[in-house]
Structure 1
Amino acid sequence: DIHFEPFEREVAVRFRIDGALREVTAPPKRLMNAVVSRIKIISGLDIAERRLPQDGRAKLKLGDRVVDMRVSTLPVVHGEKVVMRILDKSATSMDIDSLGFDPMTLKEMKRVLQTPHGVIVLTGPTGSGKTTTLYSFLKHVYSPEINIVTVEDPVEYQLPGINQVQVRANIGMTFAAALRSILRQDPDVVMIGEMRDQETLEIAVRAALTGHLVFSTIHTNTAVATVTRMADMGLERYMITSSLICAISQRLIRMICPKCKEPYTPSPALQQQLANSFRQPSVEIDLWRGNGCAFCNQTGYKGRLAVHEYMTMTPKLREMIIALRPETELEEECQKNGMRTLRQSCFMKLLDGLTTVEEAVSLFYED
């Protein structure tokens, strides 16, 4: 993302790179209006309207690449704040093998993607890479012999061979309305950008129960909490257990820069912090960190990778969900079946030297 922020005497320009905002050289304040007007023109916005927020989109040609740009404007005290999201499909890997799943989970994930019907749910906060993961699932199952339709808000990347529907709530094209129409289009696979309400959830589950494979997202903190969230939205538990194939919780963490990566032995205090954060015995281990170089802009980090928590439905888990067993017991049962929690997955990335202790611990600061 690129942020243009007007203040009383200056303009701030910040780039969000690998999840963190960094300030860069900004144009003079006197040029801000011209910059905003130009951005509005190329993204199809009304340059005369400065009192209301606006959203637009544009395609830019950068050398031999064509990238999409989403633009959002917001009136603030000293002008209009502009945020541009650059969507470069060529820079985003949509191969399921490169998503960061551990080998066992990847094998299981490929197996469930061959299931002819059911619901696969991704969970995680905004900006955790859920859409990229969903697109990788679509790419993995794509074949000219099947009909894939998506309903999204917004459509982030245009995928060849896949019919993508843009939600337009202002004219009545909501997720639920679009989904009803999609199901009359003879789909084999349906992707729903987000199950935001009971109506959308119920239609999605009915679609799964009538022979469709459904991918979607929902907002929860853990994979197991997906069950609770679906029940809280009004879905009967027998419907959940009949339709849900698996739930995957996902987070993104920054990777150590490969150019300036170096090992070190953490202090006893840091080792104890690790033991507390990851609920592991306190043992001596060697860790890695980035020293900072020109390649990573002196940050010590370059790129991000996903950590996952994968819950798959089993007969025993179905019984426990119907019996209203608490989330703690459901999680224990999942771990007996081989589920690695987000905390455990993050700890493994740390031991593998892929990320720093500071980055790993930051995911669990709330604990």
Structure 2
Amino acid sequence: MSVPVSPTAAGLWRRSRAAVLVGLLVVVTAVVGALIAGGEKPGHYLDPADTSLGGAKALARLLAAQGVRVDRVDSVAVAESLGREGERVLLVAAPWSGGFDEAERLAAIPGDRVVVGEQPYFDVLAPDIVAEEKVRLRSREPDCDLPAARVAGSAFLGGRTFEAGGTSCYDGSLMVSGTVTAVGSGEFMTNQRLAEDGNAALALHLLGARKAVTWLVPAPVPPGGEPVAGPGGRTIEELLPDNVPWAVLMAAVAVLLTAFWQARRLGPVVAERLPVVVRAAETVEGRGRLYNARRARLQAAEALRGGALDRLVPRLGLGSGAGANEVVAALAVRTGQDPGRLAAVLYGPPPSGDAELVALAGYLDEIERQVREH
């Protein structure tokens, strides 16, 4: 004999079934995520074992496919022991936190050395190369005779620029002096940028010239100081179970799904008029006052020049990867102005005072006006 379900029980099931479905979805997602993860822990910026956008596992796999052995190390002692094998490239990629003595030991390791970005004791790691000002990251042309740069073509470079008696490429953001190569930024080596332009070709030619690469990454350091070691010399991060990050992620997913479920019950979002309309001119003026209060003339000049170049390059019929020489030459033809003055305005040193900054802004406006009229 069938027993009818009471209206109260039926209503309770209708109200709770959404929560039950969300719970089941969270459980299934957690199980699938744990199976996919396989216990692998996240890495760090320019880490050859990291698969995130900022990591460099894709580059490490390309090197391995070409027969180049990649040894990931996080200590100077291991790098020294590998350096005695010979025929290796020492890569100091991510910002390294070693001391002066360790920097001297790294500099004494024989073989080629590639130093990426802003590193502590850069003058020790690259004694014949001088670090100069910063430039923004963008696609740049090599404009040099370095074989690796000629083969790669345009690459996503910028950051720190350098000066030395060696070979300068990509507007000074790549410098080769003897057996030392300095690169202003390692963004072109990351998983996110490796497939763009000639980034992969440039990275492979810089690191694949030898049979092996000693890839130095920083040791895990907590915000308070030295790595905290637990039983057996392992750090706290190594003692944590591998599934802890996934448990936190699944909890976040559950919270988001619950919020989405509850938000649907509240009905559609009601559009309201803003009490105040902020004009674009006021926003620009406010940002200018912030620059002035911080005396950030360098940042203000970079913003003015970057914005002007973004508007001028398409009007001149040039591509996004056009170099400084191409832009200056095209502007000189279009406006009839002196190329040297144009180069100083668009790519010169930052203004030393407010008057020079105002003059720079006015001259950039004048250049844009002449390009629009011609």
Higher relative contact order (CA 8 A, sep 6+): 2
Q: Which of the two has greater helix per residue?
A: 2
Q: Which of the two has higher C-alpha Rg?
A: 2
Q: TM-score normalized by structure 2?
A: 0.25
Q: TM-score normalized by structure 1?
A: 0.25
